[in-house]
């Protein structure tokens, strides 16, 4: 009897649990559906990447001799939703049961849980064991802890996975080499050239579809050259480990105008959709360390991001849902300024980060955290608007990973569930880590007045404005002491400059 196996667009791994015991008579369903492309208006490049990866994955399965039903968005009567696609496939193939892997999003999980009733068939929802920490293990780790700190979770994950371990001890004598990951990039060091993967006919058909159907969505499609097959993803991983990983460590926090990728892996979208596994990426980096091809501060930094942060934020998401997205501990309500969609702002760091986001559906972590995120925090932008923006614009964005990074990491909207203090910084941080300020109309050394870097007065205004909630935070004691030492006139001038700046932010455009 036939089993219908429904594979979602971020489950493109041959080893995904829903395909593990697939038999030649089974039908594997993949579907491009309108609801998923439209519930937020995703970046064109993100849609193109996912559809191209899905189509190539389906072809790989066919080459293996498996039966695949692939629904495209450009057929005469495309499926509106996952549920509709599944119901139509059930009617056609009359399977005895349906097998799926749990989704990455609460909304879809709710949908899946209604399928058994809607279809009148058994629906088996299997765990997504491509993640290295399952829900029960995360719950057990978090149980009874007052504050959830990634660092302790990460050490547990090192022990469990054995990456960079020497028996019970961490290789190199320390768990964390973050202190060696914060260097400014010297002008004479050039990031390595990246391999590109020009679109084949199938990917070109997807690009045409996306520009036809989603022409009014945010972002550019030109020059699309990202891997969309398992084979190319593996080639890209090889390239990263050999050519970029050795310098990934020291320059992880650096930013340079016109160099969007630096030594970052650019692997997140490939891992999140399943073309690469987190375990195999870490294994390759671990091997490079043991072969003497990459130093400990690079390899530890990379592995920490994957078995630490990536698994940790997923654990937070499922633990805190539903309702996590509505948190707003700082009562922030300002609408998203229009320049988040156009990139048209005189603040050069923001203009660069948004421009690159528009072109590439990518910005690296420090741009997301310390430029864009820092601005969202200091300006008091509405958390739901910020979440939607981050979900729309990045090709690696799924709610399970975007939401904790926005709600918990950049906005402190969960009141410090896992961040010990808000990641708030003045312009000096951006100046220290980038060359953006050299090309900006604002002066990063000025604290007040029309030419002063807005981050400078927004930083103090943020602390002032949120004193009631944040003053008690021990890690903010020093900045609050500095604020308290300022004269009344200075504090009024800071408030006035911040007010003038914030009131002038244009918002409400239709994008």
Ligand X SMILES: Cc1cc2nc3c(=O)[nH]c(=O)nc-3n(C[C@H](O)[C@H](O)[C@H](O)COP(=O)(O)OP(=O)(O)OC[C@H]3O[C@@H](n4cnc5c(N)ncnc54)[C@H](O)[C@@H]3O)c2cc1C
Residues that bind ligand SF4 in the complex, under the rule CB under 6 A = 347-349, 427, 430-431, 436-437, 440, 442, 444, 453-455
250 binds, among ligand X, ligand SF4, none (CB under 5 to 8 A by kind): none
Nearer to ligand X, 95 or 422 (CB): 422
For residues 345 and 339, the answer to whether their CB atoms sit within 8 Å is yes
- H-helix or E-strand spanning residue 470: helix 467-470
Smallest distance from the beta carbon of 5 to ligand SF4, in angstroms? 49
427 binds, among ligand X, ligand SF4, none (CB under 5 to 8 A by kind): ligand SF4
Nearer to ligand X, 423 or 501 (CB): 423
264 binds, among ligand X, ligand SF4, none (CB under 5 to 8 A by kind): ligand X
Smallest distance from the beta carbon of 508 to ligand X, in angstroms? 23
Smallest distance from the beta carbon of 504 to ligand SF4, in angstroms? 14
Nearer to ligand SF4, 347 or 406 (CB): 347
Q: How far apart are the first and last CA of the chain?
A: 49
Question: Nearest CA to 375 among 367, 384, 364?
Answer: 367
Give burial (CB, 10 Å; 0-12/13-18/19+) of 77: exposed
For residues 164 and 158, the answer to whether their CB atoms sit within 8 Å is yes
Lookup: tokens for 258:
């016109």
Nearer to ligand SF4, 145 or 441 (CB): 441
430 binds, among ligand X, ligand SF4, none (CB under 5 to 8 A by kind): ligand SF4
Smallest distance from the beta carbon of 278 to ligand X, in angstroms? 7
- How large is the C-alpha radius of gyration of the chain? 24
267 binds, among ligand SF4, ligand X, none (CB under 5 to 8 A by kind): ligand X
What does the H/E/C string look like for 240-306?
Answer: HHHHHHHHHCCCCCCCCCCCCCCCCCCCHHHHHHCCCCHHHHHHHHHHHHHCCCCCHHHHHHHHHHH
Summarize as ranges the residues that interact with ligand X (CB under 6 A): 264-268, 271-272, 302, 305-306, 309-310, 313, 364-365, 368-369, 373, 390, 394, 396-397, 401-402, 405-406, 409-410
The Cα 421–Cα 452 span in angstroms is 26
Nearer to ligand X, 158 or 264 (CB): 264
Give burial (CB, 10 Å; 0-12/13-18/19+) of 433: buried
396 binds, among ligand SF4, ligand X, none (CB under 5 to 8 A by kind): ligand X
Nearer to ligand X, 370 or 453 (CB): 370
Nearer to ligand SF4, 287 or 346 (CB): 346
Smallest distance from the beta carbon of 355 to ligand SF4, in angstroms? 13
271 binds, among ligand SF4, ligand X, none (CB under 5 to 8 A by kind): ligand X
The size of the chain, in residues, is 511
Smallest distance from the beta carbon of 214 to ligand X, in angstroms? 19
Smallest distance from the beta carbon of 251 to ligand SF4, in angstroms? 19
Nearer to ligand SF4, 316 or 349 (CB): 349
- H-helix or E-strand spanning residue 106: helix 106-113
Classify 126 as helix, strand or coil.
strand
Smallest distance from the beta carbon of 251 to ligand X, in angstroms? 10
Q: In angstroms, how far is CA 180 from the centroid of its own chain?
A: 23
Smallest distance from the beta carbon of 366 to ligand SF4, in angstroms? 13
Nearer to ligand SF4, 210 or 440 (CB): 440
The Cα 93–Cα 113 span in angstroms is 21
Question: 6 vs 21, 67, 397, 399, CA distance in Å?
Answer: 13, 12, 21, 20
């Amino acid at each position: 009897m036939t089993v219908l196996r429904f594979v979602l667009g971020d489950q493109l791994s041959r080893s995904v649990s829903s395909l593990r015991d697939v038999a030649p008579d089974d039908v594997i369903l993949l579907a491009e559906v309108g609801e998923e492309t439209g519930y937020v208006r995703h970046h064109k490049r993100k849609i193109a990447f996912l559809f191209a990866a899905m189509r190539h994955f389906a072809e790989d399965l066919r080459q293996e001799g498996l039966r695949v039903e692939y629904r495209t968005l450009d057929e005469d009567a495309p499926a509106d939703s996952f549920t509709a696609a599944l119901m139509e496939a059930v009617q056609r193939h009359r399977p005895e049961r349906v097998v799926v892997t749990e989704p990455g999003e609460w909304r879809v999980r709710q949908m899946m849980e209604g399928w058994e009733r809607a279809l009148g068939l058994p629906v088996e929802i299997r765990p997504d064991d491509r993640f290295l920490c399952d829900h029960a293990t995360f719950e057990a780790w978090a149980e009874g802890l007052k504050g959830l700190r990634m660092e302790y979770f990460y050490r547990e994950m090192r022990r469990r996975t054995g990456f960079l371990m020497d028996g019970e001890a961490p290789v190199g004598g320390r768990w964390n080499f973050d202190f060696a990951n914060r260097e400014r990039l010297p002008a004479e060091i050039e990031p390595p050239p990246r391999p590109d993967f020009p679109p084949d006919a199938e990917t070109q058909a997807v690009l045409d579809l996306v520009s036809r159907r989603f022409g009014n969505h945010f972002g550019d499609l030109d020059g699309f050259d990202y891997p969309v097959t398992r084979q190319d993803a593996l080639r890209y991983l090889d390239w990263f480990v050999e050519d970029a990983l050795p310098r990934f460590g020291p320059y992880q926090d650096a930013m340079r105008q016109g160099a969007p990728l630096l030594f970052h892996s650019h692997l997140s979208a490939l891992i999140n959709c399943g073309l690469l596994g987190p375990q195999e990426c870490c294994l390759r980096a671990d091997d490079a360390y043991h072969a003497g091809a990459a130093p400990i501060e690079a390899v530890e930094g990379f592995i920490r991001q994957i078995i630490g942060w990536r698994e940790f934020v997923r654990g937070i998401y499922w633990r805190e849902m539903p309702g996590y997205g509505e948190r707003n501990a700082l009562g922030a309500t300002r609408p998203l300024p229009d320049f988040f969609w156009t990139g048209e702002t005189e603040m050069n760091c923001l203009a660069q980060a948004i421009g690159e986001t528009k072109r590439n559906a990518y910005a690296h972590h420090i741009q997301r955290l310390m430029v864009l995120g820092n601005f969202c925090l200091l300006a008091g932008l509405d958390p739901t608007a910020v979440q939607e923006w981050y979900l729309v614009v990045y090709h690696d964005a799924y709610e399970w990973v975007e939401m904790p990074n926005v709600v918990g990491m950049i906005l402190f909207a969960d009141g410090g569930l896992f961040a010990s203090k808000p990641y708030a910084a003045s312009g000096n941080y951006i100046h220290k880590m980038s060359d953006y300020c050299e090309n900006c109309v604002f002066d990063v050394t000025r604290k007040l007045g029309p030419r002063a870097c807005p981050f400078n007065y927004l930083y103090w205004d943020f602390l002032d404005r949120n004193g009631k909630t944040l003053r008690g935070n021990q890690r903010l004691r020093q900045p609050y002491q500095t604020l308290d030492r300022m004269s009344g006139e200075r504090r009024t001038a800071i408030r006035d400059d911040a007010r003038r700046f914030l009131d002038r932010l244009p918002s409400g455009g239709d994008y």
